[in-house]
């Protein structure tokens, strides 16, 4: 992530309240960064919204679905006029209206082992906003191969989990979750996806601006019913099929 | 002996968030899981697969240390241990 180029006056005005916090140099880093967001659903919407507002220079978002009415309880970038539109395209249009200083690329495609590498491209960081473990294993494989961080998030009901993976340094997704739980449409309240998406977006901003500490080597567990957060440790598996050769 | 059990996510609703479990001395994690499964209707299906082994995706921790391999069922327990059961969530 380079931080070349000065912020222009319009950018300085737009980001004024966060420049007070992070400064021009960090803001330039956000502008030079590429973030790949896998999934434009309950997690992908808040992640994309806040990363666009923060000034991530290039956001690539991939999803294979079109907007349906049942999405609107949690996928907050869409409204009734979006129904039937490709999700990634609807996200792109919304984000470009929010922040014309950034570039958003919409991809309508399935993310799997054969496509993930190409879709992720040269992104600086990957956000897992998907809804199944098969896709997550594909993203983890690319993260390990490219040595770029992967910010995992998942939700069900009032519960959610977040973990940031730095391949070669921390437990990878496969070390954390060697066996996939059953998949199927999970019940979810929009606020859970919002909170978990916010934590993921916050991880991305911290990583790019090199501030604070990341949720690595552990899994953050959010319990919305008691409004509590707990952490469970996640260590590297020396025999992990995905990351054992990485240092 | 008495151990402390902590259940997360779906298991919290099913079994209760935190509770004490009384077990005979010399019990293992497998014994504890079996006793937890019997606490509520649906408990067995939630914790075991058709072959009768603990579902592999469930994360089991003793005193915040994760168990893997045979230890998942065979780890010896001591009074005061904390057993945590976590079913990962997958939605997005």
A154 touches chain B (CB under 8 A): yes
* Cross-chain Cβ contact A193/B64 below 8 Å: no
Q: What is the pLDDT of residues A39-82, one digit of tens each?
A: 999 999 999 999 999 999 999 999 999 999 999 999 999 999 99
Tell me the sheet residues that pair with B21.
Answer: B3
Q: Which residues, in sequence order, are bridge partners of residue A38?
A: A62, A128
Confidence at residue A2, expressed as pLDDT on a 0 to 100 scale? 45
Backbone angles phi, psi at A58, to 5 degrees: -140, 120
- Pair A142, A121: CB distance under 8 Å: no
* Structural domain total, chain A: 1
Strand order across the B65-66 sheet: B18-22, B2-7, B82-86, B59-62, B65-66
A1 located within any domain: no
Q: Tell me if A92 sits within 8 A of A105, measured CB to CB.
A: yes
DSSP three-state, residue B8:
coil
Whether the per-residue pLDDT at B46 is higher than 60: the answer is: yes
What distance in Å separates residue A105's CA from the closest CA in chain B? 21
Any domain includes A143: yes
Give which of A86, A19, A71 is closest to A94, Cα–Cα: A86
Q: Pull the structure tokens for residue A238.
A: 């020396």
Interface touch B8/A221, C-beta < 8 Å: yes
The mean pLDDT value for A82-106 works out to 98
Is the Cβ–Cβ distance between B3 and B80 less than 8 Å? yes
Dump pLDDT digits (tens) for B70-87: 999 999 999 999 999 999
Range 64-103 of A in CB contact (< 8 A) with B = none
Average the pLDDT over A29-34 and give the result: 98
Predicted ipTM of the assembly: 0.94
Closest C-alpha among A11, B9, A68 to residue A78: A68
CA angle, A111 then A112 then A114, to 5°: 115
> According to the model, what pLDDT value does residue A196 have?
98
Rounded to the nearest 10 degrees, what angle do helices A87-98 and A44-54 cross at? Answer: 30
Q: Average pLDDT over chain A, rounded to whole? A: 96
Cβ of A193 within 8 Å of Cβ of B57? The answer is no
Q: Is residue A22 part of a domain?
A: yes
A5 pLDDT exceeds 90? no
Within 10 A of B81 (CB to CB), how many other CB atoms are there? 20
Residue A245 in domain: no
Is B8 within 8 Å of A235 when comparing Cβ atoms? no
On chain B, the residues whose CB falls within 8 A of the CB of A42 are: 91-92
Instruction: Name the residue among A37, A36, A42, A8 with its Cα closest to residue A24.
Output: A8
Q: Which of A43, A181, A185 sits opposite B88 (nearest CB)?
A: A181
> Which residue did the predictor score with more confidence, A18 or A186?
A18
Domain range summary for chain B, segments of one domain joined by +: 2-86
Calculate what percentage of chain A has a pLDDT beyond 90.
Answer: 96
CATH number at A224 reads 3.40.50.720
Residues of A in contact with B90 (CB under 8 A): 131-133, 154, 156, 180-183, 186
Under an 8 A CB cutoff, do A223 and B12 touch? yes
Instruction: Please judge whether A233 and B65 are an interchain contact, meaning their C-beta atoms are less than 8 angstroms apart.
Output: yes
Instruction: Give residue A112's domain range.
Output: 9-233
Predicted pLDDT at A4: 60
Question: Is B8 close to A160, i.e. CB distance below 8 A?
Answer: no
User: CB contacts < 8 Å between A and B, how many?
Assistant: 81
The answer to whether A183 contacts chain B (CB < 8 Å) is yes
The answer to whether A88 and A108 have CB atoms below 8 angstroms apart is: yes
Pick the CATH number of B2-86 from 3.30.830.10, 3.30.300.30, 3.10.20.30, 3.40.50.1000: 3.10.20.30
Q: Give the mean model confidence (pLDDT) for residues A131-157.
A: 98
Contact B92 A131 (CB under 8 A): yes
Q: Do A156 and B66 touch (CB under 8 A)?
A: no
Residues of B in contact with A39 (CB under 8 A): 92
Considering only CB atoms, B64 lies closest to which of A44, A128, A233, namely A233
Average pLDDT estimate for B14-33? 97
DSSP chain A: ----S---HHHHHHTHHHHHHHHHHHHHHHHH-EEEEE--STTHHHHHHHHHHHT-SEEEEE---B--GGGTTT-TT--GGGTTSBHHHHHHHHHHHH-TTSEEEEE----STTTHHHHHTT-SEEEE--S-HHHHHHHHHHHHHHT--EEEEEEEBTEEEEEEE-TTTS--HHHH-SSPPP-SPPPB-HHHHHHHHHHHHHHHHHHHHT-S----SEEEEEETTTTEEEEEE----TT-TTTTT--
Average pLDDT across chain B, whole number: 97
| pLDDT confidence of residue A28 | 98
């Amino acid at each position: 992530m380079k931080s070349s180029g000065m912020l222009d006056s319009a950018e300085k005005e737009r980001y004024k309240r966060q420049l007070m916090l992070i400064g021009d140099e960090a803001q330039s880093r956000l502008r030079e960064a590429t973030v790949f967001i896998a999934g434009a659903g309950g997690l992908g919407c808040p992640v994309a919204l806040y990363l666009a507002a923060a000034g991530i220079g290039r956001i690539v978002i991939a999803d294979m679905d079109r907007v349906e009415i049942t999405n609107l309880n949690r996928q907050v970038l869409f409204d009734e006029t979006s129904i039937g539109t490709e999700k990634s395209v609807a996200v792109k249009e919304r984000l470009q209206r929010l922040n014309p200083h950034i570039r958003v690329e919409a991809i309508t495609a399935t993310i799997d082992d054969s496509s993930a590498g190409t879709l992720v491209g040269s992104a600086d960081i990957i956000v897992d906003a998907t809804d199944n473990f098969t896709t997550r294993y594909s993203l983890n494989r690319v993260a390990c191969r490219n040595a770029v961080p992967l910010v995992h998030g998942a939700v069900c009901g009032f519960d959610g989990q977040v973990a940031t993976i730095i391949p070669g340094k921390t437990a990878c997704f496969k070390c954390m979750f060697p066996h996939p739980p059953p998949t199927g449409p999970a019940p979810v309240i929009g606020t859970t996806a919002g909170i978990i998406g916010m934590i993921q977006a916050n991880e991305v901003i911290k990583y790019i601006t090199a501030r604070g500490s990341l949720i690595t080597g552990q899994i953050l567990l959010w319990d919305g019913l008691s409004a509590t957060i707990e952490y469970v440790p996640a260590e590297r598996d020396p025999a992990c099929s995905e990351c054992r050769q990485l240092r | 002996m008495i151990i402390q059990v902590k259940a997360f996510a779906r298991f919290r609703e099913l079994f209760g968030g935190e509770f004490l479990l009384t077990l005979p001395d010399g019990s293992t994690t497998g014994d504890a899981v079996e006793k937890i499964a019997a606490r509520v209707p649906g408990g067995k299906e939630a914790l075991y697969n058709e072959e009768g082994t603990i579902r592999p995706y469930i994360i089991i921790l003793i005193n915040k240390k994760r168990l893997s391999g045979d230890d998942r069922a065979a780890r010896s327990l001591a009074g005061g241990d904390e057993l945590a059961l976590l079913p990962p969530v997958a939605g997005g």
